[in-house]
Amino acid sequence: MEPLPRGPGPACPLTCLLLLSLPGVGAQRSPTFQLQQPQDKVSAKAGETITLTCTTAGTGPAGPLKWLKGWGNENETIYDQNSPPTPHLTRAEPESNTDFSIHIRDVHPKDAGTYYCVKFRKTRTMDEVFRRGNGTEVSILAEPTRPVVSGPRHRAGPGQSVSVTCMAGGFFPKDIGVKWLKDKAPISAQQPQVTPGQTTSSYNVSSTVTVTLQKDDVRSQLVCEVQHRTLEAPLRETYQLSKALRVSPGIQVVTDPRSPVELNKTVNFSCHVRGFYPREVAVTWLENGTEMKVENTPQVTETRQGLFELQSLVKVQAMEEKNGSVFTCRVVHDGQEPVSRMATLQITAPAQGELNGLSQGENGSLFIIYVVVGVICTVLALLVAAILYLIRAKQSKGKSSPSARLHEPEKSSEATTQESDPNNLTYADLNFERERKTIRRMVELSQQSEYACIQSSPPPAGDDNLTYADLDMVHLSKAPRRPAPAPEEASSEYASVQIPRK
């Protein structure tokens, strides 16, 4: 920073200093010297080179010619005739004593400002302003930087609103436009906020748009479009709404086969996790609150809508001690609180007889066969008992005992000799009721009685009664008559025979 001269000497009043600072004041003292700075305004894009023109004519006082940026206490010397040039600033005509034009290369917004070409007069104490140009206003047309789009720090679900911001900076002039599009359709946004940049000749812009998320926004995108006079085409930056979206999964636990299940069967518990976003998800299984080890890692697949789904499977043996166990599928999605679904294992309990049969290695159907056979045998036994009871009841109705009459065959001439022996009978008629089924044959001789007890022998097949019986070796005595014995029961196997006396 180089201060401006205060005047020709210490005795110069303040009004003299002000007059010297005005353009053309020195020309009154030296009318043959002229300084011309013809450019009022110069503009260029950042990175380009600009030329500031300054020429002199006539003879002037001894002293340097300089280029100052700004005037007053804020001025800055950017070129001095007595100083070597720099890569950023050089003279257009280095050897010329009248052309003091300069080149400023690779200009930036910080190079913007008003430049003055000033002729100084050397004094004993300091250099004083002798002539200065009208000044050239330099504008650097700086393009805005590429937009940067940022979304919310945390994801939101469908139906919730999020804000997305687009920022660009380092541009000049100040006028700029920002436009938002969602899936190529314009949407309304807040008025862009333009603020000064790092230098006095640059600006920054910020624009914010609020969007209500939908479930199908997984593949939607926002576009921030920046328009500025320095741009041949707008600058565009894209933001995927999937970065701000979270779709919680739907969870369902299915058992195959469905409860209740048979003992020792294998049951598949399937946990279906559907329609979630983003992809990050963790699935664990618990049995009665205790975490289970699952061998297979579920594979996540993507749907046509851009959402994700998976299926986790665990197999369980339906043992008796697991009856009533609760199996829980716990899902943790995108670092959120766990969501659980559960199913209860119900086992069909077999009958106690079947359990005993299974423990002995026999088929349960054998028990059913035993039961059927037992029932049939019981029915048959009851039927036989009923038949025997009916037979006895029918036989008991006949109160008189069957009797047999023994009589002598007709006498012949040959039998005369036998008649003298009363103890020898050859034939006897035995008349039994037809209801009698069996006759046993046995004759027991009694020397003191006229009665004989006959035990029947097994009857011939197909013959239910006998009419005649041979009484061989039967001897009847002529003892006095005795009372006949009481009749035998109908079911007795014995019959008494009464022999009439002749």
Tell me, what's the pLDDT at 81?
84
Over residues 325-370, the pLDDT tens digits come to 999 999 999 989 999 999 999 998 654 544 444 444 445 566 778 7
Candidates 44, 24, 25; CA nearest to 36 is 24
Q: What value does the mean pLDDT take over residues 262-287?
A: 94
| Strands 301-302, 290-291: pairing kind | unpaired
Q: Residue 31: what residue type? A: P
pLDDT for residue 60: 86
DSSP SS3 for 39: coil
**502: pLDDT confidence band, cut at 50, 70 and 90?**
very low
Closest CA to 493 of 460, 468, 457: 457
The whole-angstrom separation of Cα 312 and Cα 332 is: 13
Lowest mean pLDDT across 47-56, 57-66, 324-333: 57-66
Q: Tell me the torsion sign for CA atoms 49, 52, 53, 56.
A: negative
pLDDT tens for 199-210 read 667 899 999 999
The reported pLDDT for the residue numbered 11 is 34
Query: At a CB cut-off of 8 Å and minimum separation 6, what does 322 contact?
Result: 316, 345, 347
pLDDT in tens, 116-133: 999 999 888 888 999 999
pLDDT: is 36 or 425 the higher one?
36
Residue (of 448, 482, 467, 480) closest to 402 by Cα position: 467
**Whose CA is closest to 451, among 428, 431, 435, 417?**
428
If 0-12 CB within 10 Å is exposed, 13-18 middle and 19+ buried, where does residue 494 land? middle
- pLDDT surpassing 80 at residue 427: no
Most distant CA pair in the chain: distance in Å?
218
Average pLDDT, the chain: 77
Residue 501's CB is within 10 A of a number of other CB atoms, namely 8
Mean pLDDT on 385-403 = 72
Q: How far apart are CA 203 and CA 141, in angstroms?
A: 11
- Residue 289 tokens, joined: 């609150």
* pLDDT above 50: residue 14: no
SS3 annotation, 156-199:
ECCCCEEEEEEEEEEEECCCCEEEEEECCEEECCCCCEEEECCC
Residue 409 reports pLDDT greater than 80:
no
Q: Answer for the pair 395, 435: CB distance below 8 angstroms, yes or no.
A: yes
pTM above 0.85, yes or no: no
